[in-house]
């Protein structure tokens, strides 16, 4: 996958990126974009999935737990996956918000890259493994390549692209490697600390392992 989206790391562009991320998950949603009932369904589903698991829950189970009819839920969501995607989008929005907050305090491209790796790892681990049932939704989103997960990867790839460009302009990073190739390679190297399915096997390596990967990547980027 080519990471062609270049994200300017600022509050203004962050709002735009988050709007794109939310729009990407709206395909499975029906009715007005801003509706309190939809939010109630998402909140209740988040709680229900957290208690019983995403895989074992049907829309009928969810409707019974919420107190709505199944047909009424289908007025707002086309499927259980659409509800799961809405929850997934919330979680990923928390990660990207933490990333942008951390990067706003970065002193250089090198510092920002370290902050990017560390923030993604710590925040993802906190969200996905604070409750193992929430991890299940994250695992589904990665395994089935939900649009919300793909949009998130695009956004992180864009942020990484912007950091590398900044580093090249400042003379911190080499300029010979095509930038899309560099971004793809870095994203692949960082998967064990970014992908929840893989991260579960590396929890004991947080944050030291993530810092070591960042150091390795920075050495490869050195001019």
Sort 96 into a burial class: Cβ within 10 Å, 0-12 / 13-18 / 19+: buried
Question: In terms of residue numbers, what domain contains 129?
Answer: 11-26+87-221
pLDDT tens digits, the chain, 223 residues: what are they? 323 333 333 333 333 333 334 433 454 665 555 467 888 888 888 888 878 888 888 899 888 888 888 999 998 998 888 998 888 888 888 999 999 999 999 999 999 999 999 999 999 988 878 766 677 888 888 888 888 889 999 999 999 999 999 999 999 999 999 999 999 999 999 999 988 888 888 888 888 888 999 999 999 999 9
The answer to the question of residue 62 being in a domain is no
204 CB neighbour count, 10 Å cutoff: 7
Q: What is the pTM (predicted TM-score) of this model? A: 0.78
The pLDDT score that the predictor gives to residue 133 is 67
Angle at the Cα of 39 (from 38 to 44), degrees rounded to 5?
A: 100
In the chain, which residue ranges form alpha helices assigned H by DSSP?
11-24, 36-52, 59-66, 70-73, 80-103, 109-130, 132-143, 147-169, 179-194, 196-199, 208-221
The answer to the question of residue 66 being in a domain is no
* CA neighbours closer than 13 Å in the CB half-sphere of residue 23: 6
The pLDDT score that the predictor gives to residue 176 is 95
The answer to the question of residue 36 being in a domain is no
The answer to the question of residue 39 being in a domain is no
Burial code of 1-37, b = ≥16 C-beta within 10 A, e = fewer? eebebebebeeebbeebbeebbebbeebbeeeeeeee
Quote the CA–CA distance of 123 and 160 in Å, as a whole number: 17
Quote the CA–CA distance of 117 and 218 in Å, as a whole number: 11
Give me the number of domains the chain comprises.
1
The answer to the question of residue 199 being in a domain is yes
- In Å, what is the CA distance from 22 to each residue of 10, 88, 89, 122, 152? 18, 10, 7, 23, 10
The answer to the question of residue 76 being in a domain is no
Quick check: 158 and 9 in contact, CB under 8 A? no
Q: Cα 162 vs. chain centroid, distance in angstroms?
A: 17
* CA neighbours closer than 13 Å in the CB half-sphere of residue 128: 29
The answer to the question of residue 124 being in a domain is yes
The pLDDT score that the predictor gives to residue 146 is 87
- 29: which strand partners? 77
The answer to the question of residue 72 being in a domain is no
Q: What is the CATH number of the domain that holds 162?
A: 1.10.357.10
- In Å, what is the CA distance from 79 to each residue of 83, 111, 162? 7, 42, 36
Quote the CA–CA distance of 174 and 57 in Å, as a whole number: 50
Which has the closest alpha carbon to 41: 95, 84, 92? Answer: 84
The pLDDT score that the predictor gives to residue 148 is 86
State the first-to-last Cα distance of the chain, in angstroms, to the nearest integer: 25
């Amino acid at each position: 996958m080519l990471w062609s989206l270049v994200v300017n790391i600022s509050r203004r562009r962050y709002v735009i990126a988050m709007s794109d991320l939310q729009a990407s998950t709206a395909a499975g949603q029906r009715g007005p974009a801003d509706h309190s009932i939809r939010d109630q369904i998402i909140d209740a589903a988040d709680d229900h999935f957290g208690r019983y698991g995403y895989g074992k829950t049907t829309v009928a189970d969810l409707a019974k737990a919420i107190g709505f009819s199944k047909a009424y839920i289908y007025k707002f969501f086309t499927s259980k996956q659409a509800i799961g995607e809405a929850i997934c989008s919330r979680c990923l929005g928390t990660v990207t918000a933490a990333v942008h907050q951390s990067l706003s305090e970065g002193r250089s491209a090198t510092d920002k890259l370290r902050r990017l790796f560390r923030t993604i790892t710590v925040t993802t681990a906190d969200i996905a493994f604070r409750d193992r049932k929430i991890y299940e939704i994250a695992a589904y989103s990665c395994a089935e390549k939900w649009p919300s997960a793909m949009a998130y990867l695009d956004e992180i790839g864009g942020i990484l692209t912007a950091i590398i460009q900044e580093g090249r302009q400042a003379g911190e990073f080499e300029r010979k490697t095509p930038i899309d190739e560099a971004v793809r390679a870095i994203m692949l190297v960082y998967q064990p600390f970014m992908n929840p399915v893989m991260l579960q096997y590396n929890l004991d390596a947080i944050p030291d392992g993530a810092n070591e990967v960042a150091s390795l990547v920075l050495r490869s980027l050195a001019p």
